[in-house]
């Protein structure tokens, strides 16, 4: 019986498209996809720090897949990167979607749904019983897709901007008692 990786690489992804596992030497493509998606949501920022995230989390146990059209198989138009995380309430491991991105001109053609189905197949193969991801609140098309496919909010990340001037905050003294 073929492994999920060979099955995914060798089968026709959806009509007109194919997918395959990314390689170590193609990590720069993962970075480009990450930079592209963050720039789309939050233009004007420098996203060079994303290389550090890839360096920290990429391993053979965190596979990523690249999608290309059959007309231009050297141009990758979508990407899915998966890993494993721990549910802090139960201690159970689960599949975490680091990134799922489809180039804007290829959206609404079923690629996101197909990539999420691949993620669910990988989740099953890993023996995990849940799958999770983080999505920005201003990524409404992505939110709609996830909700349509049964993903439900589980937590809420809250952020507060802080003044850059340290004089605005009292100095804390931290001493350890023996």
Distance (Å, whole) CA 60 – CA 19: 18
Mean pLDDT of all residues in 55-63: 89
List the one residue out of 149, 70, 141, 135 whose CA is nearest residue 99: 135
Distance (Å, whole) CA 134 – CA 113: 16
Q: Which residues contact 167 (CB under 8 A, 6 or more apart)?
A: none
Distance (Å, whole) CA 31 – CA 130: 26
Give, as one character, the DSSP assignment of residue 49.
T
pLDDT beyond 50 at 3: no
pLDDT beyond 70 at 111: yes
Just give the CATH number of 4-168: 3.40.630.30
pLDDT beyond 60 at 9: no
Distance (Å, whole) CA 25 – CA 30: 10
């Amino acid at each position: 019986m073929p492994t999920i990786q060979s099955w995914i690489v060798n089968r026709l992804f959806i009509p007109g498209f194919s997918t395959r596992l990314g390689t170590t030497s193609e990590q720069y493509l993962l970075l480009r996809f990450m930079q592209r998606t963050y720039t789309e949501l939050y233009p004007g920022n420098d996203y060079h720090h994303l290389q550090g995230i890839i360096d920290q989390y990429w391993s053979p146990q965190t596979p990523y897949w690249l999608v290309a059209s059959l007309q231009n198989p050297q141009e990758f138009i979508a990407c899915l990167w998966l890993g494993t995380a721990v549910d802090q309430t139960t201690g159970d491991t689960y599949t975490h979607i680091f990134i799922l991105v489809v180039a804007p001109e290829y959206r609404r053609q079923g690629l996101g749904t197909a990539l999420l189905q691949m993620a669910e197949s990988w989740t099953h193969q890993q023996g995990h019983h849940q799958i999770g991801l983080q999505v920005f609140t201003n990524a409404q098309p992505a939110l709609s897709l996830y909700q349509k496919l049964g993903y439900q909010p589980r937590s809420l990340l809250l952020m507060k901007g802080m003044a850059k001037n340290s004089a605005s905050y009292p100095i804390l003294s931290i001493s350890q008692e023996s």
